[in-house]
Structure 1
Amino acid sequence: MVETPEELVELAADAYVYGYPLVFDLSMVDAFLRKGFGALPPAPFNRFAHSGELAEPDAHFVSVNNDTVYSIAQLDLSGGPLTLHVPETGGAYYVLQFVDVWSNNFAYLGRRATGTGEGDWLIAPPGWSGTVPDGLSGVIDAPTSIVTVVGRNACDGPDDLPRVQALQRQFALSHLDSAPHRTGLPAPDGGVPEALGFFERLRVWMADFPPSAEDQAYQDRFQPLGLLEEGPSPYLPAGPDLVQALTQGMKRGKARVEAATRPAPEADRAAPGAWDANPHLFDYNLDHLSVGTIDSPEWKIPDREASYLVRAVAARTGLWGNHGYEAVYAQTFQDSAGRQLNGAHSYVLRFDERPPVTSFWSVTMYDVPDYYLVENPAGRYSIGDRTPGLVYAADGSLTLHLSKDRPADPDAAANWLPAPDGDFRPMLRLYTPEQAVLDGSYVIPVIERVETDGG
């Protein structure tokens, strides 16, 4: 029982951490329905929007990748199931990732999960018990009535776009029946002050999109905050004590999430500048795993309450990212001496051995603190094993050059990843990683600063 103002603040901080993924996810769903993302045009529910190009800085989406061409559909299953057609890709890498509104990855279709053959799938809403039509490849059970499908088709550059675009045109969604579907998200009360807007959205969306029974038991703790009240918003007449608790709790919760996104203290890392490669960042889905997922203990966080902070960090730094067995994302903020990476300096990243992956790998440049792609005159936002013209050394090693300015040496320029003026964070993506990545025996080399006469 909450008895003191400090306990109420702490409860609000817990609610922020718990609810941030839901609020952020549905805010992105709403933005997509209305505005799209960068090269992805807006699309209504139950229709794919396809990008005609690789992502660029105007995408303004946290840690967006520049390796694949995106196709995104926001599904509304309130009127019943949908059917999804996927084409034959001829062995080429693709993945369709299914994410519920709590940011849980609950199903995958694609080369790793189900192969690259043509097929038709039923996507069923929570609690559906209808008849499955004959001839389907399988059924994907959704835990929430709104679902985001994130499609990624590997693209080897502009010359490969026609092949990818031909595949995109074959991904198709259709209604199993003619029941009505919603046209937008449940609307929070617009009269609530912006300072309490987060909690109002959380209140409304928690009620419309209930989590698993186990999570429901945890969120019942938030009753003193008004988050379980239905009908008119409790935040219109909120008293000063509740307003203070909510605003201070949100500030504390935000700080908790931001602190958890930063690298571990130097003493806790294997070496200065070590990459944070966590194959288990997206293991917070503990309750509802469908087609293409691995439902086993090593891919589930054992402590449910601890999983809420992990989930918030994953949403903050890489919303709609994949489980580690589909792709591993490694990031670093520092060089080999533990100094913050910054465009005022030049750096090298040397791979003595190529990263162990089944599909492909890349390094993408992001700014800090937004984690957006970095505008640069070369129009290069990532570099990897599919980048044309890379120069390897005679011993097979590969040295990448990270700097604001293009290197003067032609070989270095071929291996150049442009950096911004200020602080930056590169991300190494490993698609369908091998076991050495997953068990940590593969160590990503640290980034070295190139010293000059000017320091």
Structure 2
Amino acid sequence: MMVHGNPDPRSTPQELLEAIASISSPDVVDTPFGRLDFFDGVPLPETVSTIYDALDLVRGIDVFLNCVPGASLVAFRRGLRALGIDSPRTIAYSDPRANSRALALTPNTETTYGTTFLDLRAWGPTVVEAPPNSMCVVDDFWFRYVTDMGIPGPDHGQGGNYLYLPPGYEGDVPDGYFVLRSPTFTNWVVLRALGGVADMKKARIYPLSEADSPRANEWINWVEESFNTVHANDLSFFFEIDELVQEEPTEALDPERAGQLAAIGIVKGRPFDPDERMRGILDKAARIGAGMARTLSYAPRDPQASLYGSWNNAFVGGSHEFLRDGARLLDARTQFHYIATVITPAMARARAGAGSAYAYTVHDARGAILDGGRTYRLRVDPNPPVKNFWAVDVYDTQTRSLIQVPSTIWPAVASNSGELIANDDGSHDLFFGPNPPEGGKSNWVETIPGKSWFPLFRLYGPLEPWFDQTWRLGEFEPLD
């Protein structure tokens, strides 16, 4: 019945009974957490305990999935500190290039890296002089994009002076700099110099207070060292996040994630000291969360994560902020950060002829998981659509780091190596397996029996046929 155009609030007795049933709790609810018992909707004491254990577990899983970006940078900084890189004055670099000695999320073996962490709390305003002919990125400590420097940045590869201001800075800002304001005191600097070490060492980092006469930077070559930069998958994960929370301003994190952290006891200014019950729950939450993260990374279900065939796209939605139609793509953010590092629009939405593009898979042509005990062939068709070069690096599915094999510390093949042998039509047959193919090792990457692995196909300066998919990657064909 309608009264003056509005729904009639009166209901029949049957409708009232149905309404009561729809808002009531049954006396017994079977759940994955156990049986829940109620007395007319009021939880019995054992149910209260079960519910709060379940709620703490769910919140812990949410924290793991949503805070992987922050934990990743805490772990990376810890790894650099183990090498003595504990100041922005000291910069780690790879000479000649990254290799499998260190545990680090999916580095490439083709370009020279430099990296350090800015400390805007200790130094205040800080200057970074970007090297020429480079692709450099700065991300904040929650792993959010701050700026590009170099070719994709405002200096367009000519080299430029960048000034980073700490949170809340209200002092004078001199002219002559590209000025950035970061929400966090700690910021990760990634330098990639296309001209190698010589260009890399043209970079300079110093406090603005030293602008008239900056002290020299110290450079440490990290490629001979073994160290770990990968975050934990157990209870330790939450202590990594607490380290970040205690260091950075409360305002640096969105209220939603801050609320999830507070729900499990991680609050700025308070010690994080979970009791035995909570430690057990959080350890389980991390292990479940890691399993979910691996599933999101290796078997993503978002249709946009599928490139074609078995190949996946690591940047779902084409947004470095993981946004689509105004919504945060939570699964996509976890998918990317669990296996990779560096956030920049130049990676999320590469332009034809600039930046880089990526594809990865864990499956062969038949849909089976890539097995280190088997031999596979990947054919790269003629005329790959790249301005610069392409490469395939191989990673360990457990560590998401370069696979460690006896034959080489650079488990990769690349078109700029000068070693690849092409077929008569200009295509390349690449081989992956425990033993080299007949004809030599130039087109081969060793794998390990009993372990899986995954490749990342990189294009440096991808061209239009990559984007419109008129040129496509082949599949890994098992040969045994």
TM bin (shorter chain): 0.7 to 0.9
Q: Shift of residue 72 of structure 1?
A: 0.6
Residue identity in the other structure for 2:439:
D
Q: What is the rounded CA distance, in whole Å, between the counterparts of 1:50 and 1:173 in structure 2?
A: 14
Tell me the number of residue pairs that the alignment of Structure 1 and Structure 2 aligns. Answer: 398
Q: Shift of residue 327 of structure 1?
A: 2.5
Residue identity in the other structure for 1:82:
T
1:358 aligns with 2:380: no
Q: Shift of residue 58 of structure 1?
A: 0.7
Q: What is the rounded CA distance, in whole Å, between the counterparts of 1:269 and 1:151 in structure 2?
A: 28
CA contact (8 A) 1:282 1:311 kept: no
Q: Which residue of 1 aligns with 2:124?
A: 80
Inter-CA distance 439–230: structure 2 relative to 1 (3 Å threshold): farther
Q: Shift of residue 269 of structure 1?
A: 9.3
CA contact (8 A) 2:96 2:197 kept: no
Q: Shift of residue 204 of structure 1?
A: 4.2
Q: Shift of residue 386 of structure 1?
A: 0.5
SS state of the match for residue 113, structure 2?
Answer: strand
2:456 to 424, 427, 443: 427
2:149 to 80, 91, 109: 109
Inter-CA distance 250–281: structure 2 relative to 1 (3 Å threshold): farther
1:69 aligns with 2:108: no
The structure whose Rg is larger is: 2
Q: What is the rounded CA distance, in whole Å, between the counterparts of 2:396 and 2:261 in structure 1?
A: 35
| Aligned pairs for 1:251-400 within 5 A | 251-264=287-300, 274-280=310-316, 283=319, 285=321, 300-302=323-325, 304-307=327-330, 309-320=331-342, 322=344, 323-324=347-348, 325=350, 326-373=355-402, 374-378=404-408, 380-400=410-430
Q: Which residue of 1 aligns with 2:25?
A: none
Q: Shift of residue 112 of structure 1?
A: 3.1
Q: Which residue of 2 aligns with 1:120?
A: 161
TM-score, reference length from structure 2: 0.74
1:165 to 172, 175, 197: 197
Q: What is the rounded CA distance, in whole Å, between the counterparts of 1:87 and 1:269 in structure 2?
A: 34
Q: Shift of residue 166 of structure 1?
A: 1.8
Of the structure 1 ranges 334-343 and 375-384, higher mean CA displacement relative to structure 2 is found in 375-384
Q: Which residue of 2 aligns with 1:29?
A: 77
| Aligned pairs for 1:144-155 within 5 A | 144-154=184-194
1:202 aligns with 2:252: no
Residue identity in the other structure for 1:124:
L
CA contact (8 A) 2:96 2:112 kept: yes
Give the alignment's Cα RMSD to 1 decimal: 3.2
CA contact (8 A) 1:404 1:419 kept: yes
SS state of the match for residue 103, structure 1?
Answer: coil
Q: Shift of residue 380 of structure 1?
A: 4.5
Q: Shift of residue 273 of structure 1?
A: 5.8
CA contact (8 A) 1:332 1:426 kept: yes
Q: Shift of residue 32 of structure 1?
A: 0.6
Inter-CA distance 25–31: structure 2 relative to 1 (3 Å threshold): same
Q: Which residue of 2 aligns with 1:141?
A: 181
CA contact (8 A) 2:304 2:316 kept: no
Q: What is the rounded CA distance, in whole Å, between the counterparts of 1:212 and 1:405 in structure 2?
A: 54
Unaligned runs of 5+ residues in structure 1 are 37-41, 155-162, 179-193, 287-299
Inter-CA distance 250–390: structure 2 relative to 1 (3 Å threshold): closer
Q: What is the rounded CA distance, in whole Å, between the counterparts of 1:357 and 1:195 in structure 2?
A: 41
SS state of the match for residue 251, structure 1?
Answer: helix
TM-score, reference length from structure 1: 0.77
Q: What is the rounded CA distance, in whole Å, between the counterparts of 1:119 and 1:330 in structure 2?
A: 31
Q: Which residue of 2 aligns with 1:417?
A: 445
Unaligned runs of 5+ residues in structure 2 are 1-47, 211-232
Q: Which structure has more strand as a fraction of its residues?
A: 2
Q: Shift of residue 370 of structure 1?
A: 1.5
Percent sequence identity is 22
Inter-CA distance 268–318: structure 2 relative to 1 (3 Å threshold): closer
Q: Shift of residue 19 of structure 1?
A: 2.1
Q: Which residue of 2 aligns with 1:291?
A: none
CA contact (8 A) 2:138 2:189 kept: yes
Q: Shift of residue 244 of structure 1?
A: 4.4
Q: Which residue of 2 aligns with 1:6?
A: 54
CA contact (8 A) 1:349 1:448 kept: yes
Q: Which residue of 2 aligns with 1:181?
A: none
Q: Which residue of 1 aligns with 2:218?
A: none
Residue identity in the other structure for 2:298:
R
1:325-366 per-residue CA deviation (whole Å, 9 max, x = no partner) reads 232221111111112222322211112243323332200122
Inter-CA distance 321–118: structure 2 relative to 1 (3 Å threshold): closer
Q: Which residue of 2 aligns with 1:182?
A: none
Q: What is the rounded CA distance, in whole Å, between the counterparts of 1:269 and 1:198 in structure 2?
A: 26
Q: Which residue of 2 aligns with 1:226?
A: 265
Q: What is the rounded CA distance, in whole Å, between the counterparts of 1:264 and 1:21 in structure 2?
A: 18
Residue identity in the other structure for 1:390:
L
CA contact (8 A) 2:306 2:313 kept: no
1:97 aligns with 2:137: yes
CA contact (8 A) 1:263 1:332 kept: no
